[in-house]
Chains A and B, each alone.
Chain A
């Protein structure tokens, strides 16, 4: 197939308004239009299924009908660029942010970002997290200059919405109920062993981890965290980072 033929075929596949490419024949002599319509439908249904399986909490929030319609529009505008469906939908959150019918649900894009981070963590390389005992053996004067290596599965998300609570309620991790205390929540996602974990960050925690993950010294990361939240608890945050396997090494 020439590149021109392929391009025309793909364009017609993505947009039902475009005429079926000339020269198509059906094996049983029936109209190629109908066979092509089946193909078109399979493409959309298959990709909608891929998106839905990556973002189940988002689907629960808006319902199946709304989600499918939103996904179909996404698929039309952002067809896959890679045969690997596991990364398809990485830009779904940005699309939903600009998708007018979903504007009322201001927290939806962040829920989708959290689910995308979970998928990324799921497929990230298996690496054993940092053994805390190695830190205990360090002389105290080295601590301030420590630089940590983040786990390949680590993501940190900051949200102006109660992101982790909303996600947990719609992912079946917590009971559904009205949220009395509508506050900002930051999240950390990592997969230290076999299971993807989502944690709600304590005050300053996201800034602290973000600084460390971007290669800042421990002392600098602590300064950033305290600037961000005066209630920052270094001990609790270090314990949390070590327990959730946020890092794999230090130097």
Chain B
């Protein structure tokens, strides 16, 4: 008996939790991609290796540092050094 009450309580809580997060305002899935070679110096989000890390890039359009941009827009970005890339170079 005790178990079935506990099950009911858990199921009820889970149902209302799922209802809460299904509300569109609360469900803000991030839809960004890492775009290399487009960040101005000091404006990068991060990248491994050359510096540690966000905002530490010392070169404009460093191909080893990325900036988060809306998914699908990276490779269409044009910089003086060429287009944005989805992988570091």
Contacts and interface: CB of A to CB of B under 8 A. Distances in A.
Interface of A: 50, 53, 85-86, 122, 132, 135-136, 140-141, 143-144, 193-195, 218-219, 222, 234-236, 238-239, 242-243
Contacts of A235: 12-14, 16-17, 20
B48 to A, nearest CB: 8
A185 B20 CA distance: 24
A149 B12 CA distance: 22
Interface of B: 3, 6-14, 16-18, 20-22, 26-27, 29-30, 32, 34, 45-46, 52-53, 56, 68
Contact of A132 (B16, B21, B30): B21
Given A85-B52, A235-B13, A239-B20, A194 B45 contact: yes
Q: Which 3 A-B pairs have the closest CB atoms?
A: A238-B17, A140-B11, A239-B17
| Chain B CB within 10 A, most for which of A195, A239, A243 | A239
Residues of B contacting A: mostly: helix
B26 A243 contact: yes
A218 B20 contact: no
23 contacts: A85-B52, A86-B52, A122-B46, A122-B53, A132-B18, A136-B14, A136-B18, A140-B7, A140-B8, A140-B10, A140-B11, A143-B7, A143-B11, A143-B14, A144-B7, A194-B30, A194-B32, A194-B45, A194-B68, A234-B10, A234-B13, A234-B17, A239-B17
B14 A238 contact: yes
A238 B13 CA distance: 8
A143 B3 CA distance: 11
Contacts of B21: 132, 239, 242-243
Contacts of B6: 144, 219
Nearest to B20: A239
A235 B12 CA distance: 8
Contacts of A132: 18, 21-22
A140 B10 CA distance: 8
A86 B46 CA distance: 12
B46 A53 contact: no
B7 A236 contact: no
Contacts of B68: 194
A222 B29 CA distance: 27
B70 to A, nearest CB: 12
A81 to B, nearest CB: 17
